[in-house]
Every structure is written in structure tokens, then in C-alpha cells.
Amino acid sequence: MSKVLLIDDDVELMTLLQEYLMEEGYEVVTDNDGRVAISAAADRSVDIIVLDIMMPRMNGIEVLQRIRKVSQIPVLMLTARGDDVDRISGLNLGADDYVPKPCSPGELAARLRAILRRAGQSTNVETADAVKAGRLVLHSGSRTAEWDGVPLELTGTEFSLLEVLTRSAGQLVSKQDISKRAFGKPLTPFDRRIDVHISSVRQKLGIRDDGQSWIQSVRGQGYQLLVD
């Protein structure tokens, strides 16, 4: 089991990511102090570090610099969306990859798997790569999907949304829960992104034999993926 260290001062986001990654088969520890990451890198007490750039005390770029003086442990940076300066700085200093915030837990998990695979890590996460619900199969590692054995073309956002519903197939999932798990942030008032993307996924899945959509909506509450 690979051990992940999450370093960020956003408690809500860290809790969300920790819960998701643990479900994926990782051992996860969190902290809000970059100095903990430096120590963990020096003694190799974790397998990979997820490091936010914007933090109090010591920012992520400085932490990464110090890590690279003592270790080549894999590091994935969390950057502000659109902040190319921080992204480029992190990569130049030896970061293995970056994910813009807010990020979906599914995307983060996929990036972690890819980094660990490149680093030669053997992880139990691979055995839990496929998520199945009836005719639908999702491969979290490659972020690809199959419907009735045929490749299903999905955008990254559509995959994240469908993954949330698939993991709770047959159960109603609230829009708030979908937003947190798929986008990594709470749903805001008048935000219709989920509805728009769900509509697109419905079209791609087609109609059931009984004439219903495979994704049912409960007005004002959320969505449910039906299974055979």
C-alpha cells in the first residue's frame, strides 16, 4: 500500500482528498506545515508528497527546493488555476507533476497512480482500478470508460462526474456531494455545470429498454445511476 502525504492548509479539501484516496487503497496522512514534508522526504517515511504552493510559514516552492536537496521522492504540486509562473517554477525545481486547484479527487488519484508507476512503485491501487456498475466499466488509472464493452468517449469532467455516480450506483447522490467529489469544491448557488455535463453523459449512455434515462434526477436533490 503506497503512503501519501498531503500538505495543504485547506482543511476541507484535505479531508475530502484523504477520504477519497483511502477508498482507492492508499494510506494517507495530512498536515499543514511544509516542514513536515521536508522531514518525511529525508527519512522516506512516505512514497509520494502532494504539496500546495500557497501555504503559510513556508510556501510550496521553498519546500520543494529543500526536499530536492535531500531526496528525489515523487512530488505533485497543487497550483492556483492559471498560475503558469508557479507551475513552471515547480517543474523546473523537480516537481513530478502538478494539478490546478480546485481539483477533482479522481484526477488527483489518476495523477498519483501515473507518477508512482513511472517511479517503479508496485501498488495495490492497481487492483482496484476498474469500477463497475451494470454495463458500465470505468478505469480510474487511465480515466477511460466502456459501455457494453464498447469504448465510451468522455471529457475529463464527464468522467469525474460519472465516476462519482458509478461508485454510488443505485443510490441517490446529492449535487453538493457530486460537486465536492468530482470538482473538489462545494456547490455554489446558481451553478449549473453539473446539470449541463450530466445531460451530455445521458446522451452518450442512451436510453434504457423501459424508455428511462440511465441517470435519474430527483428535483432539487441530486442524481442516481441506475443499474440492470
pLDDT in tens for each of the 228 residues of the chain?
A: 799 999 998 888 899 999 999 988 899 999 999 999 999 999 989 999 999 998 878 899 999 999 999 998 999 999 876 667 777 888 888 888 888 887 888 889 988 988 888 776 444 444 446 889 999 999 876 778 999 999 998 877 788 899 999 999 999 999 999 988 887 778 888 778 888 889 999 999 999 999 999 999 988 789 999 987
Which residues, listed in sequence order, are joined to residue 98 by a DSSP beta bridge? 77
DSSP 8-class letter at 53: S
Taking the model in full, what pTM does it have?
0.64
Sheet strands side by side (includes 48-52): 27-31, 3-7, 48-52, 75-80, 97-101
pLDDT of residue 81: 62
List Cβ neighbours of 180 (8 Å cut-off, separation of 6 or more): 16, 186, 187
pLDDT of residue 188: 81
Q: How would you class 202 by CB atoms within 10 Å of its CB: exposed for 0-12, middle for 13-18, buried for 19 or more?
A: middle
Q: What are phi and psi of 133, to 5 degrees?
A: -155, 100
Q: Domains (ranges, CATH) in the chain?
A: 3-125 (3.40.50.2300), 129-225 (1.10.10.10)
Kindly report whether the peptide bond that precedes residue 105 is cis, defined as omega within 30 degrees of 0: no
Residue 3: Cβ within 10 Å count:
14
C-alpha cell at 193: 455545470
In degrees to the nearest 10, what's the CA dihedral of 85, 161, 13, 175? 130
pLDDT of residue 129: 66
